[in-house]
Amino acid sequence: MTDLIVFSVAGNKYAMNIENVQRIIESMPLTNIPNSHEYIDGMMSYEEKVIKVLSFRKLIQVQTYKDELIALFESLKKGHAEWVESLKLSVQTGAPFTKTLDPHACGLGKWIDSFTAYDDHVIEILNELIEYHKQLHVTGGYVLELYLKDKEEALRMFNIDINAIYEHTMGALVTFTKELDLVANSLQKLIIYDNNGSLFAIKVDIIEDIAHIEEESINNNVSENEMSEFLELEGVLDIEGVLINVIKTVKLPK
């Protein structure tokens, strides 16, 4: 029986032997290393040692977490612009409003509910975003109720209140976007990894679970293009229909 730490990066799942993992900690601000390898994000202090931090995203050559968040936030902004336009059409013409009024059910609400922040500044910005976003959905519901009684007042309320709350919501989201380095750090985790005495940290997106498996359950048919100079795979594991890349070893670039 082997115990594996399972983690996700860019939507893909990976696992490594727990024997190589000293600890899993929250990500933190790093010190830049001039002229370091492109896969190295920086260095940090760990138990009175200075260790390097390897970006797993860079290692497997996918877009950075920051770039992924930029694309996500642009999509969320577009979704709420469409939400406001749909509400406006309903108030102006009586057309059915088909968007959600539940602040937890839209794309932004689902992302907010899944996000855990540890930096005080990020938490402050997040709380502002949560409040304005909730107001937008709640006030939207009130405007639709008002439309059934007083169409002119509903339209007036949309033009003044909804537009103002929407601008505040988007403003908070823009502020959030400007702090993406802090946001990314609040989301990602660091695996303190020991490769035969070489200690370094590996930055990953999400820690999923600990898997208890039999070694023979790993499919060892790994083609050459599934390996790199710094990442060697042992095989692929299927757990309840989910494919997990099992890592044999990770090496720190010089």
Q: What ranges do the domains of the chain cover? A: 2-62+188-250, 65-183
Q: What string of pLDDT tens digits covers the 254 residues of the chain?
A: 889 999 999 889 999 999 999 999 988 888 999 999 999 999 999 998 999 999 999 999 998 888 888 888 899 999 999 999 999 999 999 999 999 999 999 999 998 888 777 778 888 888 999 999 999 999 999 999 999 999 999 999 999 999 999 999 999 888 888 888 777 777 789 999 999 989 999 999 989 989 898 888 888 876 554 567 899 998 999 888 889 999 999 999 98
Residue at token pair 């949309």: 158
- Distance, CA of 43 to CA of 246 (rounded, Å): 26
2-62+188-250, CATH topology level: OB fold (Dihydrolipoamide Acetyltransferase, E2P) (2.40.50)
Q: Is 3.40.50.720 the CATH number for 65-183?
A: no
Are 199 and 51 in contact, with CB atoms under 8 Å apart?
yes
What does each C-alpha distance from 26 to 18, 98, 217 come to in angstroms?
Answer: 18, 40, 31
- With residues binned 3-state (H G I as helix, E B as strand, rest as coil), the percentages for the chain, rounded to 5, are 45, 30, 25
What's this model's pTM, rounded to 2 decimal places? 0.75
